[in-house]
Homo-oligomer: A and B are copies of this chain.
Amino acid sequence: MTQHSIEHASFTIERTYSAPPPRVFAAWADPAAKRRWFVEDLTWKTLDYEFDFRVGGREHGRFQGEDGPVFINDTVYLDIVPDRRIAFAYSMSTDDGPFSASLVTVDFQPKGQGTKLVFTEQGAFFDGFDQPTMRQTGWGWLFDALDRALGETRD
Contacts and interface: CB of A to CB of B under 8 A. Distances in A.
Q: How large is the interface on A (under 10, 10 to 19, 20 to 34, 35 or more residues)?
A: 20 to 34
A123 B87 CA distance: 11
State the majority secondary structure of interface residues on A.
strand
Total identical chains = 2
A126 to B, nearest CB: 7
A69 B103 CA distance: 26
A2 to B, nearest CB: 9
A56 interface: yes
A103 B101 CA distance: 8
Interface of A: 4, 6, 8, 10, 55-56, 74, 76, 78-79, 81, 84-85, 87, 89-91, 97-98, 101-103, 105, 107, 120, 122-124, 126
